[in-house]
Chains A and B, each alone.
Chain A
Amino acid sequence: MGTDTSIVSLENVSYRWRGRASFGLDIADFRLAPAETVLLLGESGSGKSTLLSLICGTITADQGAVRVAGTDIASLSAGARDRFRAEHIGLIFQQFNLLPYASVLDNILLPLRFAPQRRARVDDPSEAAGALCAALGLPVDVVTAQAGTLSVGQQQRVAAARALIGAPPLIVADEPTSALDAATQATFLDLLFAQVRASDSTLLMVSHDARLAPHFDRTVEISEITKVPA
């Protein structure tokens, strides 16, 4: 294990949703290397969300080990898992990423509130947030705006800034572009990739859209890594 430098590794992992016996996920082996960008393709219902929940530690595997940055998620207490997620993972959802009533700045700084180490990596959080917004092509005065007043495309960029602040080792994005039109999609991905590379983070993006594949180092079909449930 000491030689395993993977930022994420899942070995012989099996998970069943309670009360939905037929619905679950079994993964023999899935790894992400540091600073790698990976596109995970799969149809809806293929277990993508379950996989992300396992990696983020909001659910724990019934069998097998899920490691993030070398730490076995299951070995942590529930509270420690929440803290671990805040420290190591930046998250971008499909839509409705932001607290609409809070300012853009408060939204971006929210994960730092729960992650002291990540917070310590940022000298001046407000300035860092402003810089990220600028790098992601948002207007300068956007940080003081109320998040709910922004367009969907702008909101996704703010969500990206929130995931990137404090340079967590892993960025997880769950179909971040599906609510955007084609032109906005391309710009968003270009900006996101530039920032992910700048912070040396690993990017795991989940999508059902195979056309995104050329942007990534590697593309994985979820069916390739799952075992057929017994």
Chain B
Amino acid sequence: MILRLALGSLMARALTVAMTVLAIALSVALFLGVEKVRTGAKASFADTISGTDLIVGARSGSVQLLLYSVFRIGNATNNLTWESYTDIAARPEIDWIVPISLGDSHRQFRVMGTTVEFFERYKYRSGRALEMADVVVMDDLFDAVIGADVAATLGYTVDDPIVVSHGIASFVEHENQPFRVAGILAKTGTPVDRTVIVSLEAIEAIHVDWQGGGAIPGQVTPADTLRQMTLEPQAITAALIGTQSRLQVFALQRAINNYASEPLLAILPGVALQELWQIVGVAETALVAVSGMVVITALIGMMATIFSSLNERRREMAIFRAMGARPRVILSFLVIEAAVMAAVGAVIGLGLLYLGLLVAQPVVDARFGLWLPIEAPSLREFWVLVGVVAAGAIVSMVPALRAYRMSLADGMMVKI
């Protein structure tokens, strides 16, 4: 009956109550939304590369190797010789190995030389493969496949010509050997979106007429001649490795790290990604803190609303007292009211979150490559909701205690 009366009392003040509930709902939706984006971003980040057991490159640091081989940020300090590459590729633990050669660029995007196997082996977001519009992959030496962002930013379509620049942010172009856009990859939310992919041989081909970082004047080998040539690279930047068995990963990593003829480094991408996230992830704590404060603000707003309603509700309290209600009942009456408001706010907030996710999920995935899964509330989210209701009840104790004291002093004789 007390609960029914509390509900009735809330209904009687529907407008004020609705505003308070709305504030709580919005803050809860914001908080949970930030949580979703945070975990989504973390998961997307951790899923930038999956299915690859090891990444091999010249010896530097694990984060640095990850940055340039996967994120195409920064440069390799050294290369991996083709000899070492073939030597490692021949090891029995190797299931597959994909070479990567970086160093050139097209406009603001990196050009990556690799083999056709890259499209098959590179996986992201728990094993999703790269998708492409109906196109034959790199039939010709001068075929290029471009990421979704490259196509969108530069407005490229299939069969458009691409001229690769030598090095990064340079004005020297490989203008004699233009490429053709053979395919455009679907958006992945990974650095592949910002990459121009060509064959390893093509990287060699455009450098045939070059020596020591500059074009040899007057020497232009015709494209058809280049197509006939056997183009084997001297060195590559890094290689992605899949092992026969997961159990062999550590042994292979140790063997590569102790490789005698060249200082090499093999890293576990997952571990390196986590290390990198620890650097990037500081912002997430700030984000959670800010949205947490929004929830607290909403609850304090509710407390203020209850406070301001106390005076006009003295008569109501006096009736309760006259009917034999102890001041304790008055206190619990107000706390129940607050808990109900917080609970309704939390539930509506959850609803808003799912509504927002339904609307935003495809847009966010397409535009940012950030996948926000729509799933039942996690245990963590459940506790957040419980926490909001509990915090609402606790916060309401302040005005409720005042009502308690007021009703003790007023008794049942309030003349208003």
Contact = CB atoms under 8 A, between A and B. Distances in A.
B276 interface: no
Contact of B413 (A49, A87, A100): A49
Contact of B8 (A56, A58, A102, A115): A102
Given A52-B413, A109-B1, A113-B1, A99 B319 contact: yes
A109 B325 CA distance: 13
Interface string B1-33: 110110011011000000000000000000000
A54 B5 CA distance: 28
B324 A115 contact: yes
Given A98-B319, A106-B4, A79 B324 contact: no
A157 interface: no
A99 B324 contact: no
Given A99-B5, A100-B12, A53 B323 contact: no
Interface residues on B, range: 20 to 34
Contacts, number: 78
Contact of A53 (B4, B11, B411, B416): B411
A101 interface: yes
A169 interface: no
B322 interface: yes
A86 interface: yes
A109 B5 CA distance: 12
Nearest to A103: B8
Nearest to A109: B1
B404 to A, nearest CB: 12
Interface stretch (A23-31, A89-97, A131-139): A89-97
Interface string A144-155: 000010000000
Contacts of B5: 99, 101-102, 106, 110
Interface string B315-343: 11001111111101100000000000000
B321 A82 contact: yes
A97 B414 CA distance: 11
Contacts of B1: 106, 109-110, 113
Nearest to A84: B324
A85 B413 CA distance: 14
Given A96-B416, A106-B4, A106-B5, A87 B319 contact: no
B315 A96 contact: yes
A227 interface: no
B310 interface: no
B394 interface: no
B412 interface: yes
B412 A58 contact: yes
Contacts of A98: 319
A111 B324 contact: yes
Given A49-B413, A109-B1, A58 B321 contact: yes
A208 interface: no
B322 A99 contact: no
A65 interface: no
B289 to A, nearest CB: 40
Contacts of B325: 82, 86, 113-114
A57 to B, nearest CB: 9
Contact of B12 (A79, A82, A97, A101): A101
Given A85-B324, A111-B324, A91 B412 contact: yes
A121 B240 CA distance: 85
A86 B315 contact: no
Interface in A148-174: 148, 162
Given A97-B319, A101-B12, A114 B324 contact: yes
A82 B413 contact: no
A110 B412 CA distance: 15
Nearest to B321: A58
Interface in A72-130: 78-79, 82-83, 85-87, 91, 93, 96-103, 106, 109-111, 113-115
A106 B411 contact: no
A59 interface: yes
Contacts of A101: 5, 8-9, 11-12
A220 B5 CA distance: 39
Nearest to B408: A78
Given A82-B326, A85-B324, A111-B323, A106 B315 contact: no
Contacts of B412: 53, 56, 58, 91, 93
B413 A99 contact: no
A16 B134 CA distance: 96
Contact of B322 (A93, A102, A103, A106): A93
Interface string B80-98: 0000000000000000000
A103 B190 CA distance: 62
Contacts of B2: 113
Contacts of A49: 413
Nearest to A96: B315
A114 B316 CA distance: 16
B413 to A, nearest CB: 5
8 contacts: A85-B324, A86-B325, A96-B315, A99-B5, A99-B9, A102-B8, A113-B1, A148-B12
Interface of B: 1-2, 4-5, 8-9, 11-12, 315-316, 319-326, 328-329, 411-413, 416
6 pairs of A and B residues whose beta carbons are closest in the complex: A86-B324, A58-B411, A101-B12, A114-B324, A101-B8, A111-B323
Given A53-B411, A82-B325, A91-B322, 17 more contacts: A49-B413, A56-B411, A58-B321, A58-B413, A59-B411, A82-B324, A82-B326, A85-B322, A93-B322, A93-B412, A102-B8, A103-B8, A110-B1, A110-B323, A113-B2, A113-B325, A115-B324
